[in-house]
Structure formats: structure tokens, C-alpha cells
Amino acid sequence: MTTPKNEKGITNADLFRLKNAIQSVKEKGSNKFKLPLILNEMKIDEHLKALEELRKPSEKFQEYEQKRRELILKHAELDEKGEIKLYTQEGGNGQRARDYGFPNIVKNKKEFDEKNKALQEEYKEAIEKQKKASEEFEKTLSEQADIELKTIAFEDFPEMSYDEMKGLLTILES
């Protein structure tokens, strides 16, 4: 088991994928396999926590999002639980979406559009700052991660699926 200084060009985005790969195999194999996984996961968690902090929206933007959600709640199509129905396309078109998408505005669309426009104007600066922060975060994801990870010898890898193995290639000892 060696500790290379990110020689394989692991990006910040790769760390999110590696974290998921580790999660999928952490119950497999011997302690010789699991120990470097645990040590890597601890380092990755620390790094991802810092990345998540960069993505965190400002209080002003959170305030905007809350007011916008309340506005949508008053005007959008709701499900039986009172949750906003989201669709893959605007106007209630496309398939239902779970965690993302477009609300279908069904109650007084003109009033909604006016209030939404006023809200966007009121929080224009916070929206612009958040947009810029998101763009910077996207750039950060493509940058090489400043992290040292433990590698694992191939013979220490347990049996696993092709996708699981592919997800762990960055920590396979070469």
C-alpha cells in the first residue's frame, strides 16, 4: 500500500464518484482491502466537505429561494401530499420529475408572473452572485484535487462487479 501524491490526475469531481464507489464496496473484501478504503474515505470526506462549503448559497439567496418556493406553492399544481408537482418540461409537460424540474403554474398565472418578476428584481444581486458562485464551483470540479490517496494492490481487491472495479481504478496500485 503506497500513498501517491495525486499522480493519476484525480479531479475534484472524481472524488465525488470515488466516494460513491467506496460506499458500494465497503462491505466487501478483507481488512487489507478495507483499511485503505476507510483511510481514503476519511480524506475524501474532508475534501468534499470543503467543496460543499464553496457551493453553499448565501443567506440572501436562501431567503430568495424560500420566498420563491412560497410563491410557487400558492400557484402551482400540488400532489395529494400538498407538495409541488414538477415536470421535465415547462407548463406541466413531459414526465413527472422527482427532485428537479418545472412546476406547473395553474392558479392565476399572470399574478404569479408579476410577483415572480418582482422577486427576481428584488434579489437580482443575490441571484447574480449565486450564478457566479455556481460557475466557479463547476470550474473547481474540473481542477485537480490536492489530496493524497492510499492505493490498493490488485490482489487485495475482492470480487466485485465491473462498474464497482471501474469506480475504484484511481486507487488501484499500478
The Cβ of residue 46 has, within 10 Å, a number of other Cβ atoms equal to: 10
- Say which residues have a Cβ less than 8 Å from residue 155's Cβ, sequence separation at least 6: none
For the chain, what is the largest distance between any 2 Cα atoms, rounded to a whole number of angstroms? 65
Does residue 95 belong to any structural domain of this protein? no
Specify the pTM: 0.68
Residue-level pLDDT at 7: 52
Does residue 65 belong to any structural domain of this protein? no
For each successive 10 residues of the chain (174 residues), what is the average pLDDT?
55 93 92 94 94 91 95 90 85 75 88 95 96 92 91 93 92 86
Asked whether 148 and 5 are in contact (CB, 8 A), the reply is yes
Range(s) of the domain holding residue 44: 12-55+145-171
Residue-level pLDDT at 80: 86
Count of structural domains, the chain: 1
Alpha-carbon span 166 to 131, nearest angstrom: 33
Does residue 26 belong to any structural domain of this protein? yes
